[in-house]
Amino acid sequence: MDSLDLNQPNLYLNRELNLVEFNRRVMAQMTDPAVPLLERLRYMGIASTNMDELFEIRIAGLKQKAELGAVSSGPENMTPHEILRQLSGHCHELIDEQYRILNEELLPALEEEQIRFIRRTEWTQEQDDWLHNYFRQELLPVLSPIGLDPAHPFPRILNKSLNVIVALKGKDAFGRSSGMAVVQAPRSLPRLIQLPQETGSGPYDFVFLSSVIHAYADEMFIGMKVTSTHQFRLTRNSDLFVDEEEVGDLMRALEGELPSRRYGEAVRLEVADNCPDDLIEFLMNTFELQPDDVYQVNGPVNLNRLQAIIDLVERPDLKFAPFTPNLPAELGHGSNLFKVVHKHDILLRQPFDSFAPVIDFVRQASQDPDVLAIKMTLYRTGPESVLVDTLVHAARNGKEVTVVIELRARFDEEANILVANRLQEVGAHVVYGVVGYKTHAKMLLIVRRENEGLRNYVHLGTGNYHASTARLYTDYGLMTCDKEIGEDVHKIFLQLTSLGKVARHNRLLQAPFTLFERIVEKIRRERKNAEKGKPARIIAKINSLVEKQIIQELYAASMAGVEIKLIVRGMCCLRPGVTGVSENIEVRSIVGRFLEHSRVYYFENAGAPEVFCASADWMERNLFRRVETCFPILDTKLRDRIIKDLDMYLADNTQAWILQHDGSYVRLQPGDAPPLSAQQALLAEVTS
C-alpha cells in the first residue's frame, strides 16, 4: 500500500455514473423473457422512478455544485460539469432505450394478451362517445386551463406532475390572443382510464388521461382554434435542507420545508417528441433549462404510471407466482416468543421468512404484564403500519414506549411526521435522534422482568420495520436475548434519547464511532493473514460501496493476496481488475424479483470465520454521519446459514452482473453449467 499511490483518480469510478449503470441493469429485466410480462412493466416503472430520483437528488446536487464553482466531486477527480455532461449522454441514451422497449416490445406483447393502450386515432365511435362524455362529466369540471398573458403568468408547475402546453389561434371574449395556454392534469384523477366493454372494447382496453385532454382540448377554449397540444413534465430539485442547529423544533421545521420540495429548482423537462421546437424553447426559457436538460419522449411522460395496470389486470399468469413466506412452527400463532428466544437466537431472512414474528414480538410485549418497556427505532415504516398500531396499544396498556423516529428519511418525511404525532398522542416518548446524524439503525429492545431479574430481548435488522417492503426486499433480522448484545442496544438507546459520552460496547459496532475503525481493522487482519500464508477472504454484501478509505484498504488487501468477493447492488466506486491492484477483487450485482437490501460482512479470520449483519453500507454518510448498528452472528448454525446464502449469491449465474474494469457490467450466462438464481433457490426452499 505504501509503494503505490492509491489516490490515483483512475482507480475510482464515479458514483452517479455507476448509479446509471444500475438502472441499466434494472431495465434489462424489461426485456428478459424469463420475467412475466406484467412484471416487466413493473421494472419499467421502477427504472422510471430511479431516474426521477437521480435527477431530483444527484443531478440537482451536481448542478448546485457547478453553479458554486466546485472543482471536483470525488476521488475520481471529475468536475461537476464533466459528470453532468457524461450523465446527460447516458441518461438520454437510457431513456430513449426505455421508450423503444415500451413501444417495440412491451406494448405489442401486451396487445397479444388483449391488454391494449388505444391511441386517439384508433378510437371507435362508441369509444369516442364514451370518452367524450367522461371528459365532460368527470374531467372538464375540475380542469383549470390557464391562458398565458400579463395577467395570467405561467403557473407554478408541481414536481413530476402531468401538464399540457396548448397552442391557440384567435381571440377570446376579451380580445386576448396570447396564443398559448397550460392545462395542469388534476392529481385526483387516474392517469389511465379503463374503457367499459359496452363500448366494444376488450377486457383490458385503456386510454391515457393525456389523450383525453388532447382530444377535447378545444372545449376548454370556446371560440378559439387549438392548433396543437403536447404533454410535458418537469422534474425539480427535491432535496430538503433544514439547518438543524438553527431550529428549535425539527418536526415543525420539516413540516414547513416539505411544501417547497414540490417547487424546487427545475432540473429536467420531459416533453412529447412531436412538440414543435418553438414550444420546447418557450418551456426551456420559462424553466431556465438548457438543451441537455430536455428529454423528448415517444410516449407518456411518466412511465411509472403504467404500473397501475398490474393491479387493474387480473392475469395471474402474467405475474410472479405468489408465495407464502416461511413461518417456523416454533414461531407460529400461539407460541410464546419470549420462551423461544430465551432458548436460542432466531434468524429471519426476509422475504423468504415471514415478517410476522417481528410484529408478534411487539404485540406480545404490549400485552405481557412482565414487560416494562419497549424501545424502537423507525426509519421507514409507512403511515398505515401494524407495528405502529401495536406500539400505540402498548402505550395505552401502560408500557414505557420510546420510539426514535428519523424524520429526515428521504421521501418518507411526511409519513414519519404523522407516525410521530400519532405516538405522542398516546403518551409514547418520541425523539428524533441526534442533530446532524440520521438514525438509520434498526433496533427493537424489550425490557422484561423475569425470575433472574430484568432481561433485554432484542431484534436487530438490516432493513426497515416495514411490513410491505419485507415482502419485496431481502434482509436479515436477528432475535436474541444475549446479555451482552442486550446491554449494547440499551446503551445505544440511552445515547439517542439522553446525553453522555460514547459507551464501550461488548458486541455491537456502531457508526459514527467504532464501525469504520473496526471494519478497517478486520480488512487489515485479512491482509496480514494473507501475507503470512494463512486463509484470508472477505465477502461483503451491501447496497453501495463509495467510501474511499475502505476502497483503499480493500485494494491493499487484494495486493497482499486476499480473495475479495463483493456483492454490491447499486453504486460501486471501486474499480476491479486493475493490474497489480485489484486483480483479486470481484464485484457482482444481483438484480431479480426482490430488491437486494441486506448488508453482510464476512471475514475468514484464518479459518475462524466472523459474520456480521448491519444497517450500514460502506458509504461516508453511513460510516460517519449516521447512527448505524452492526451485530455479530454468534450462533454457529445461524452463521453457517448466512455463509451458505452468500455462497449461493456468489454462484448465481443467471441474475448476476459482473463489474468490468471500465465501469460497465456484463450479465453472467450459465453456459454449460446448470442455471442458478440465488433468489429463486432461496424461494424454492420455502415453497417446495
Residues designated catalytic: 440
Give every CB contact of residue 153 below 8 A, 6+ residues apart in sequence.
none
Give every CB contact of residue 674 below 8 A, 6+ residues apart in sequence.
none
User: Cα–chain-centroid distance for residue 296?
Assistant: 26
Say if CB 643 and CB 651 are below 8 A apart.
no
Q: Pull the grid cell for residue 1.
A: 500500500
- Other CB atoms closer than 10 Å to residue 232's CB: what's the count? 25
Give every CB contact of residue 238 below 8 A, 6+ residues apart in sequence.
56, 57, 60, 159, 261, 264, 411
Which residue shows C-alpha cell 488487501?
557
- Other CB atoms closer than 10 Å to residue 71's CB: what's the count? 8
Length of the chain as a residue count: 688
Local structure of 242: helix, strand or coil:
coil
Which residue shows C-alpha cell 384508433?
122
Say if CB 271 and CB 295 are below 8 A apart.
yes
Residue 675 and residue 355: Cα distance in Å, rounded? Answer: 29
Residue 160 and residue 150: Cα distance in Å, rounded? Answer: 26
Residue 479 and residue 367: Cα distance in Å, rounded? Answer: 19
Q: Would you call 105 exposed, middle or buried from its count of C-beta atoms within 10 A (0-12, 13-18, 19+)?
A: middle
First-residue to last-residue Cα distance in the chain: 49
Residue 348 and residue 331: Cα distance in Å, rounded? Answer: 11
Task: Look at residues 225, 226, 187 and name the one whose alpha carbon lies nearest to residue 209.
Answer: 187
Helices and strands (H and E) in the chain: how many? 20, 27
DSSP string, 580-634: TTSTTEEEEEE-SSSEE--EEEEE-GGGS-EEEEES--BSHHHHHSEEEEEEE--
Q: Which residues of 110-133 are buried (b: 16+ CB within 10 A; e: fewer)?
A: beeeebbbbeeeebeeebeebbee
